[in-house]
Amino acid sequence: MTHQEAAAALLAALTVWQAFFETAHLQAGQTIFIPGGAGGVGHLAIQLAKWKGAKVMSTTSTRNMDFVHHLGADVVIDYTKQSFVERVKGVDIVLDPIGGEVLRQAFQVMKSGGIIVSLPGHAGVQAIGDPLAPQYDVTFVFTPVHRSGEQLAAMAPLFDTGQLHVHIDAVFPPQEVAQAHKLSEGGHVRGKLVLAVE
C-alpha cells in the first residue's frame, strides 16, 4: 500500500472490522444490508462482508452502480430510483453509516432477532434506534471505533493479496482542506478523500 492508501484505509477499515466481528458477530451465509455502498465505510464494508461469506445488499446513486457491483455486492439498489424497503427483506445485520431516515427505514427490512449497528458521525441515531429496536425485535447498537494494532495486523494480508482495497476519490494539498471538507459534506464521495501533507 502507498502511504496515502494506508492513511485512507485505517480508520474506516477498523470501524467496519469492529462493527462486523466485535459487535454484530457476522457469519458466513448471513445477509447484510449496507446503505451507501460507495462511501468511505461502505466500500470497505462490502469487501469485508464478501470475504467473510455473507450475502451483501447495498444502495448507491446511479453513477456508482457499477462501482458497487464491482466491489462484490450481490444486490445493488439505485436509491435515486427506488426505495430499498421495496427490495430488501430478511436481513440479519444492517451496518448504518448514514442515520436519519435511512436508519428508520432499515428497521423494516430486518429479521426478528437481527442487529443494526449504527456508526458515529450522525446526530440523533440513538433517539431513532433505541425506541424502534424493541418494536421490531432487533438489537440496536451505536458503536464508536477504538484503536487496535491486532485487528490492523489481521487485515494486512487482505490488503496485501488484493482481497481488500481502499478507493481514493481525490487527493488534496493542505491549502485546499476547505474544498475537501465541502466535497465530503456533500455525501457523494466514492471511497475516501486524502489530504497529502508534504
Beta strand residue intervals within the chain, DSSP E = 31-34, 55-60, 75-78, 91-96, 110-118, 139-142, 168-172, 192-195
Chain centroid offset of residue 28 CA = 18
Residue 91 has pLDDT above 90, yes or no: yes
Indicate the DSSP class of residue 53: T
Higher per-residue pLDDT: 42 or 120: 42
Task: Find the mean pLDDT for residues 14-33.
Answer: 97
CATH number attached to the domain at 3-142: 3.40.50.720
Q: How far apart are CA 152 and CA 120, in angstroms?
A: 20
The closest alpha carbon to 34, from 25, 26, 43, belongs to: 43
Which phi and psi (to 5°) does residue 117 adopt?
-110, 115
Chain centroid offset of residue 143 CA = 13
User: Which pLDDT band holds residue 187 (cuts at 50, 70, 90)?
Assistant: confident
Residue 26 has pLDDT above 90, yes or no: yes
| DSSP character string of 174-194 | GGGHHHHHHHHHTT--SSEEE
Cell of residue 107, nine digits = 428497521
The closest alpha carbon to 12, from 198, 178, 194, belongs to: 194
Query: Which of these ranges, 25-29, 66-70, 176-180, 183-187, has the smallest mean pLDDT?
Result: 183-187
Q: How far apart are CA 38 and CA 60, in angstroms?
A: 6
pLDDT in tens, 143-170: 889 999 999 999 999 999 999 999 999 9
Can you give the pLDDT at residue 198?
73
Indicate the DSSP class of residue 165: -
Q: How far apart are CA 56 and CA 90, in angstroms?
A: 12
pLDDT in tens, 94-148: 999 999 999 999 999 999 999 999 997 777 899 999 999 999 999 999 988 999 9
User: Which pLDDT band holds residue 69 (cuts at 50, 70, 90)?
Assistant: very high
Indicate the DSSP class of residue 111: E
CB neighbour list of residue 165: distance below 8 Å, 6 or more residues apart: 5, 47, 159
Whole-model pTM? 0.95
Please answer whether residues 149 and 140 qualify as being in contact, where contact means their C-beta atoms are separated by less than 8 angstroms. no
Q: How far apart are CA 158 and CA 148, in angstroms?
A: 16
Q: Is the dihedral of CA 150, 12, 58, 96 positive or negative?
A: positive
Can you give the pLDDT at residue 21?
97
